[in-house]
Structure 1
Amino acid sequence: MKKILLFAILAVGLFLYSCDVSDPNRPKLGVEFNQLVLSKYVALGNSLTSGFQSGGLAEDFQLHSFPYYIAQQINYPDFQQPLIASPGLGSTPGKTPLMFDPATGLIFSEDLPVSDPRLLLKNALLPRPYDNLGIPGADLNTMLRGTSANDTGNPFYDVVLRNPNFGNTTQVQQAILLNPTLITLWIGNNDVLGAALSGGDLNQITPVDKFQEDLGAILTELTSKTKAFIVMANIPYVTDIPFVNALDVIYHTSPALGIQVPVPVVFGADFQPVDFDPNQQGLFIPLLTEEQAPVHVLLPALSAYKESGLGVPDSAALVGMGLPPATASALVQGMIAAGLTPSGIPIPANLTLTNDELTAIREAVDNFNSVIATLTGGKIPVFDANAMLGVLNTSGLDGYTGKFVLMDPANTAFSLDGVHPNNGGYAIIANAFINIINAALDLNVPTLDTDQFKGQYLSAGKIEGLTWQAVNQVKHLFVKEKTAR
């Protein structure tokens, strides 16, 4: 009888949670009752939910995922994730996540020691779906419809969903099977991220009407088939990540060449633009680019710049900039002496973003976030991840910065791939979700001390650079061939 009464109370209470959380007239529930909402937590999303770091997924990363942090803070002891044994699974099939080689100072990845990624799944026999159902590479379409690697082209679907064990069900359907009382849902980033990582392929962006249709269907499924309290996050500007903006530091004017608007220029080992004539007006040598006036040079260009001199002008290019042949020859010799390779080969268009491309990508994010705001309608709390990343990049958060690890290894919130957070970055995200949960449910779930995760990469030694293969690894999973939706 007591069990029946408890379930009846719980059912009524969860119905009340579906009311608009901003409605001052909604019933005020006690803290003890609200704690019941924390009794079964399920996380839905993409790589950001899975705990993906440094171009891959591994147990060490997953134990620092934001859902795992949240589960710890709400004292949910049996939060199950698809734990991946060392060395982990990289986003490029057959590769490990990125790692650091102290001998060379380079970020790199290795070949995977197994042919089937599922062989690294430590708790593959769990007789129920995982509580963290975040799948690296998931977008709205595949969250709603994807069940396996065969129908998505993404091996992580087999690792996380383990179909046909659960009836060839989707991420959303497996969440419903768990009968959750609390859901975090963060999805949509991969509906635009590929456009940024590919250097402006706008075909990577999901049409906004399709975005609205699919997100609406996901929310309808979750709200009609569970009584869970749902918390969402919106989409950050995917151009505000180190993979895109790390090399903004190499932009400079060149008064001696009459260039008054900052452009990417030849730079040294410290990423500082090199003035080849400091006693005069300032002679900064522009890098060669296929696209005129790019506003961002993407991170892979750094590897090619160091390895082969991509973008570094040769004598002919310098003469074309208006320099006398003798001066051009002297500059080339100076660059060679500094360890550069004046290749004369321009940086290709897929490694830069123009202002038009940047604007289109940011507009897509704005449109997607408007859809999220409309569909949640105040009934589902939304954490403003877009604003949070903006603050991280301008003034910092909790002492963390949005800089790439090469520029700020002590304080960066990003992992080695320049796209995904590191341990501290995920702690910041977890705290943001916890604050939303506390405000909506009048709870006092403690937040994490993010200081304990600082300096994740300091013990490894000085990071000097990253290989071409490593820096491009993350693109494999997130830059896709567009298929019929």
Structure 2
Amino acid sequence: MTFFYACTPDQPSAPTLNVLKNDITIAAVGNSLTAGFQSSGLMEDFQMNSYPYLIAQQMDNSKFEQPIIGAPGIGSPAGMTPMYLDQDGNITQDSLLVDPIFLLKNALLPRPYDNLGIPGADLYDLLNTIDGSGGNPFFDMILRNPTLLNTTQLQQVALLQPTVLLLWAGNNDVLGAALDGGDLDQITSQSDFDTRMESILTQLQNDLPKTVIIMANIPYVTDIPYINTLDGVFLGGIPMVFDETLQPVDFSGGTYLPLVTSETTVEHITLVGLGAYQQGLGIPDSAYMVDNLGLGQGQAAQLEAGMIAAGLIPTGLPLDGSMTLTSAEASTIKDAVDGFNQTIASLAGTYSVATIDANALLTELNVNGIDGATGKFVMVDPATTAFSLDGVHPNNAGYAIVANAFIGKINPALQLETLIPEVDISSKLGQYLPPSPKMEIGKVINNVRILFSRKNVR
């Protein structure tokens, strides 16, 4: 991405303190979840539903500023738009035909943005990163350095001196491991996480002594549709050949065929695996059934013919390990989240910071739903899903749920005479209707994990 200030003759002036004059002001730092990222991208329509913006709206704060990105938006990977549903219900993504510089509508704002969430940022980035030299263009667009004096997210929010600071970070210290099918090297070590999170809170409290900080913990990254949509295809802990309703196929009298996977003890198949399955990977052909399942040639040929007639593509080729999570990998990822959340809880007590239990919130969404919204993938539940097309990030309804959780902590923390009202979640449902998404997933789902991969970094 071209560094956009090189093309802009008028530069924002250096920030000053106390630029916001409202009695109650709000700011936010974090990652893609704070930015309002949806469907593998960022654009104005999504940002108007980021949880910090929704909260500001509920507070009647008209001066809340975000780095507004005009249509068609900026997607992941670089050079792409966000995902969208075409007129036939296909999840698709286009090439970005304009320099992203021209999409940032308020680049000349002479102070830091109130929403400083940066897609792809981890704890290290909050403390240290000032630009996109590491390959993530969102750092350049949101931090706007060197004009804003080569400052980090934390340093910029200190210039704002908000009444309330929303902090949701740490997700990306483990997310990439799950999205890449159990690449455990992408998990930040517990000791590094502890040190960085404490440094973040120390710096914030030193720089913002009068600010009320509200912090959220980390959901289980295996509880998102990108990871758990195909959990229903498992029987007895083994993934089976399944149909378009994502249910195991009973070929005859309780006869099921196991999927072909390169890993054993598979516990989850990712959405990338679903896309590969729809192209034939993981589906046993007659030769595989004879050689590996002990079936006779006649029975194997009959089963293969039946699968072909049903629209499946038997290849006998395995789903790669990058498309699946084993039970050991899932357990290690869960343990990491538990360890990180223990640190967050401990530090929240030490620093007297109110905490949102985002982990429990996502569990509740998956088990019982919240205010009519569910945690299912859009192909399964387009009418009431709280997730966007990428299966990782919330949609409008999902961010409204998050906003309400923060509002539930802000109200008692500020002891307001007039409480901040909750967002009406019902008004956010049905974002993807019409048309209904097809029960197919294209190759674009492979792009979801690129921004959040931490391979070969730090």
**TM-score normalized by structure 1?**
0.87
Distance in 2, Cα, partners of 1:216 & 1:140: 10
8 A contact 1:52–1:61 mirrored in 2: yes
The count of corresponding residues between Structure 1 and Structure 2 is 434
Distance in 2, matches of 1:313 and 1:59, equals 45
Q: Is the 8 A contact 2:281 2:317 kept in 1?
A: yes
Report the CA distance between 1:93 and its aligned residue: 0.6
> Is 1:300 aligned with 2:268?
no
What is the deviation of 1:118?
2.4
Residues 131-146 of structure 1 mapped to structure 2, 5 A cutoff: 131-146=114-129
Structure 2 partner of 1:420: 393
**1:159 match:** 141
Segment drifting more, 37-46 vs 122-131: 37-46
Runs of at least 5 residues in structure 1 that lack an aligned partner in the other structure: 1-10, 12-35, 253-260
Aligned to 1:256: none
Q: Structure 2: how far apart are the matches of 1:482 and 1:365?
A: 21
Q: Shift of the alpha carbon at 1:304?
A: 1.4
SS at match of 2:166: strand
Aligned-pair CA distance for 1:482: 3.2
1:38–1:196: structure 2 CA closer, same or farther, 3 Å change rule? farther
Q: Which one of 342, 365, 371 corresponds to residue 392 of structure 1?
A: 365
Q: SS of the residue aligned with 2:229?
A: helix
Counterpart position of 2:376:
403
Q: Does 1:118 align with 2:89?
A: no
Question: Deviations for 1:330-351, whole angstroms, at most 9, x for unmatched residues?
Answer: 1111111111111110001111
Decide whether the 8 Å contact of 2:74 with 2:82 is kept in 1: yes
Asked if 2 retains the 8 angstrom alpha-carbon contact of 1:37 and 1:228, the reply is no
1:108 to 89, 92, 95: 92
Q: What corresponds to 2:428 in structure 1?
A: 453
Cα distance in 2 for residues equivalent to 1:205 and 1:228: 31
The question of 1:233 aligning with 2:216 is answered yes
Query: In the aligned structure 2, how far is the partner of 1:338 from the partner of 1:293?
Result: 28
* Local SS of the residue matching 1:459: coil
Tell me, in whole angstroms, the C-alpha distance in 2 between the residues paired with 1:328 and 1:37: 72
Aligned 8 A contact 2:91 2:442 in 1:
yes
Q: Distance in 2 between matches of 1:449 and 1:125?
A: 33
CA displacement at 1:37 relative to structure 2: 9.3
Query: Contact 1:102–1:462 (CA<8 Å) still a contact in 2?
Result: no
**1:479 alignment partner in structure 2:** 453
Whether 1:318 aligns to 2:263 is no
CA distance in 1, matches of 2:125, 2:415: 34
Which runs of 5 or more structure 2 residues have no equivalent in the other structure?
A: 1-17
**CA offsets 1:199-224 (integer angstroms, 9 cap, x no match):** 10111000111111111111111111
Q: Deviations over 1:173-204 (max 9, x none)?
A: 01011122210000000000001001101110
Q: Which residue of 2 aligns with 1:46?
A: 31
Instruction: Please list, as runs of the form range in 1=range in 2, the aligned pairs for 1:149-188 lying within 5 A after superposition.
Output: 149-150=132-133, 152-188=134-170
Counterpart contact for 1:423–1:456, Cα < 8 Å = yes
Which deviations, in whole Å up to 9, do the C-alpha atoms of 1:253-307 show, x marking residues without a partner? xxxxxxxx23211111222221110xx3x0111110011120101111111111x
Q: Report SS of the residue matched to 1:440.
A: helix
SS at match of 1:300: helix
Q: Is 1:349 paired with 2:316?
A: no
Matched, 1:242 2:219: no
Amino acid at match of 1:52: F
Q: Is the 8 A contact 2:91 2:437 kept in 1?
A: no
Give, in whole Å, the separation in 1 of the partners of 2:136 and 2:154: 17
2-structure distance, mates of 1:183, 1:440:
12
Q: 1:381 aligns with which of 354, 360, 372?
A: 354
Is the Cα contact below 8 Å between 1:203 and 1:482 reproduced in 2? no
Instruction: Report whether the alignment pairs 1:80 with 2:55.
Output: no
SS of the residue corresponding to residue 222 of structure 2 reads: coil
Residue aligned with 1:373, SS: helix
Given residue 86 of structure 1, which amino acid in structure 2 is its aligned partner? Answer: A
Q: Secondary structure at the match of 1:465?
A: coil
Deviation of 1:460 after TM superposition, in Å, equals 2.8
1:208 is matched with which residue: 174, 190, 199?
Answer: 190
Bigger CA drift: 353-362 or 432-441?
Answer: 432-441
Question: More displaced, 309-318 or 414-423?
Answer: 309-318
Greater shift, 347-356 or 442-451, is seen at: 442-451
Q: What amino acid is the match of 1:293? A: T
Asked if the contact 1:102–1:461 (Cα under 8 Å) also holds between the matched residues in 2, the reply is no
CA contact (8 A) 1:118 1:158 kept: no
Partners of 2:85 and 2:437 within 8 A in 1: no
- Give the fraction of aligned pairs with identical amino acids, expressed as a percent: 53
The question of whether the paired residues in 2 share the 8 Å contact of 1:96 and 1:111 is answered with yes
Letter in 2 for 1:192: V
- Is 1:442–2:427 an aligned residue pair? no
Asked if 2 retains the 8 angstrom alpha-carbon contact of 1:139 and 1:190, the reply is yes
Within 1, Cα distance between the matches of 2:431 and 2:445? 19
Deviation of 1:387 after TM superposition, in Å, equals 0.4
* Partner SS state of residue 295, structure 1: strand
Cα distance, 1:233–1:38 mapped onto 2, change above 3 Å: farther
Residue by residue over 1:312-347, the C-alpha shift from the partner in whole angstroms, topping out at 9 and shown as x without a partner, is: 001121112121110001111111111111111000
**Aligned with residue 334 of structure 2, among 359, 362, 370:** 362
Separation of aligned partners in 1, 2:22 and 2:414:
9
Structure 1 counterpart SS, 2:219: coil
3-state SS in 2 of match to 1:382: strand
Question: How large is the RMSD of aligned CA atoms in angstroms?
Answer: 1.4
What does residue range 240-279 of structure 1 map to in structure 2 within 5 Å?
240-252=223-235, 261-277=236-252
Partner-residue secondary structure (3-state), 2:237: strand
2:205 is the counterpart of 1:223: yes
